[in-house]
Amino acid sequence: MQIKLENINKSFRSKDGEVKTIFKNFSLSISEPDFMTIIGPNGCGKSTLLNLISGIEKADSGSIELNNKGRSLGSIGYVWQDYRSSLLPWLNVYQNIEFPLKLRKIEKTERRRIVDDLLNEFRVSFSPQKEVYKLSGGQQQLVCLLRSVASNPSLLLCDEPFSALDQSSRWTMAFYLEQLWLKKKIPILFVSHDIDESILLGNRIILLNKSAQVDEVLVNRLPRPRNIEMLSSPEHIKLRQRVIQFMKVNGAIQDGVST
Amino acid sequence: MKPSIKIRIVDTLIGFIGFAIVIFIWWYAFQNQKAGTYLIPSPVTTFKKLTVLFFSGEIFIDLYETLYRMLAGYFLAGIFGISCGLLLGSFPFARKMFDGTIDFFRSIPVTALYPVFVLIFGIGSNSKIAMIFWASFFIICINTTYGVMQTNPIRRKMAQLYGATWFQIFSRVTFYDSLPHAMVGLRVALSYALIVSILTEMFMGSQYGIGAKISESYNLYQIDAMFALILIAGMLGYFFNIIFVRIEKKIVGWKFNAD
């Protein structure tokens, strides 16, 4: 698996006509099927990066390649922070998960097999016939996760997927995501504001500075599967200190105040 | 969660108190009207007349005529209004082109167009149906347009990301997402359709219909019959609303819980 971004330029025009440049000649190459997390200060372009890779947004110039080819629609899974908006509330759990498969006109029996396998593999405790809006936040995000991998994507992008969840659902879902990565071996690019979550989940932690350039790539060698106790491990604490230092330099943390 | 039967019975009884107060005020006005005048019939006489109208069966032909015209105009407006709304909402160019036109035509009171419709469709049912159509169409069309314009962008992006074609996004996401707004339009238009149906029978002349019979009893100074017929018109609107709310909950029930 290879993601290759070369000389990407991207700017936005605000309502008052002001042009804000997010990426200027940005390049990034990822060649391993890894669990990568991205940390950076607000407005450094983390979400824009995911949107560019997915094709939701177009770069002003530059090239993006996935497995030495251009991106094809349906080859990337995406999990949004706003799970309520990304689910289709008029469909039930089962229908939401099979939605990408239906779009690709996969046969009914095959769709059923894929969705049933996913539901069994991840021991989904709620009924697949249940309306999605009747589920808890964590359960709804789980449906989004399962939907994002139903079509067997070659890359999974997660844009702060757990930040709208309460603390306990957040960690449950984080470890669900790890399980999913371990079982499916789909490369993951994960953006989060939460330093602990990013370090604990990632194998490699990309530090994106306020000028939208890769500052450093940290490697987390903690064994898999990971657990909450690892938050107090020396390796985690060491990485945490490095990330905090990076955030301070980039103005994201000022004397105990996170911005 | 559904309220218990006991709570529902109590709620219904509380609802009846409102009706009881209105009937009391009516009875008080009847008792205290100027001697020798008969402007307001007693509630008892009116209800007696109401039962006579129903049990003799003479009201059914009028009910049929009113409902036939109302529903014909309303359903035509629903089909065309939703179709036009979906198109205008989906194509900004079409919206820009017809925005002013729609605003202009919907501002013309439907009653002002009565001679035009009579000239085109004659004095029979067709001109009345056309007026009901006109009164309902714009409300449904405008609400559906707004519904399409306000569909959730994340849902559309999600479908696009999973490889949906324009038509798949339109038919599987935009259409359903715009339904709650379209239903609001349909609900308001239903009341308008009944109002215009009765109004046209009263002023454009008709042998049968609730409006025609109200007008006839007024001319013959049959005040109790006139009040009984007004009550029937009120009941029609009331029951249509109850039925519509049930249908709305069935079709877009998710809207009350999701988002």
Confidence of residue B259 (pLDDT cuts 50, 70, 90): low
| CB–CB contacts below 8 A, A to B | 63
Strand segments (E) across B10-84: none
Q: Is the pLDDT of residue A164 over 90?
A: no
Kindly state the tokens that stand for B219: 């001319």
Query: What's the pLDDT tens digit per position in B83-131?
Result: 999 999 999 999 999 989 999 998 998 889 888 998 999 888 899 999 9
Please check whether residue A109 is in contact with residue A60, taking contact to mean a CB–CB distance below 8 angstroms.
no
Angle at A200 between CA A198 and CA A204, to 5 degrees: 65
Closest listed residue to residue A126, CA positions, set A97, A160, A88, A101: A97
pLDDT at residue B238 in the model: 93
Question: What is the model's pLDDT at position A68?
Answer: 65
Mean per-residue pLDDT of chain B: 90
The minimum CA-CA distance between B257 and chain A, rounded to whole Å, is 6
Average pLDDT over residues B11-35: 87
Flag whether the pTM goes above 0.95. no
| Structural tokens at position A35 | 């669990």
| pLDDT attached to residue B33 | 82
pLDDT of amino acid A24:
85
Closest Cα in chain B to A73 = B163
Residue A257, pLDDT above cutoff 60: no
Which pLDDT band holds residue B180 (cuts at 50, 70, 90)? very high
- Tell me the β-bridge partners of B257: none
Q: b vs e for B222-241, b when ≥16 Cβ sit within 10 Å of the residue's Cβ?
A: bbbbbbbbebbbeebbeebe
Instruction: Give yes or no for a contact between A66 and A154, defined as CB atoms under 8 angstroms apart.
Output: yes
A259 pLDDT more than 60: no
- Please say if the pLDDT value at position A71 is more than 90: no
Rounded CA separation B258/B177 (Å): 11
Q: Is the pLDDT of residue A74 over 80?
A: no
Distance separating alpha carbons of residues A58 and A221, to the nearest angstrom:
35
Determine contact, residues A23/A212, Cβ cutoff 8 Å: yes
When scoring B2, B160, B162 by the number of chain A Cβ atoms within 10 A, the one with the most, hence best to mutate, is: B162
Sorting pLDDT into bands at 50, 70 and 90, what band is B54? Answer: confident
The 10s digit of each residue's pLDDT in A82-110 is 888 999 999 999 999 999 999 989 999 99
On whether the CB atoms of residues B185 and B107 are closer than 8 A, the answer is no
ipTM: 0.83
Measure the CA–CA gap between A46 and A122, rounded to whole angstroms: 29
Mean pLDDT calculated for residue range B205-211: 85
Confidence of residue B13 (pLDDT cuts 50, 70, 90): confident
| Average pLDDT value for residue range A226-234 | 93
More confident call, B82 vs A30:
B82
Facing residue for A100 by CB, picked from B157, B162, B258: B162
Q: What is the pLDDT of residue A212?
A: 84
Which residue in B has a C-alpha nearest to residue A80's C-alpha?
A: B154
Strands of A110-187 (E only): list them: 155-159
CA distance A3 to A66: 5
Comparing CA positions, the residue from B149, B146, B142 lying closest to residue B102 is B142
Interchain proximity B162–A99, CB inside 8 Å? yes
* pLDDT band, very low/low/confident/very high, at A121 (cuts 50, 70, 90): confident
CB-based contact B209:B69 (threshold 8 Å): yes
Contact check, Cβ <8 Å, A80/B255: no
Chain A nearest CA to B173, separation (Å):
8
Confidence of residue A116 (pLDDT cuts 50, 70, 90): very high
Sign of the Cα pseudo-torsion (A201, A203, A209, A213, in order): negative
Element (H, E) at B141: helix B125-149
pLDDT level of residue B173 (50, 70, 90 thresholds): very high
Average pLDDT over residues B219-232: 90
Query: Could A89 and B158 be called an inter-chain contact, meaning their C-beta atoms sit closer than 8 Å?
Result: no
- Lowest mean pLDDT across A39-48, A190-199, B191-200: A39-48
**B258 interfacial to chain A (CB closer than 8 Å):** yes
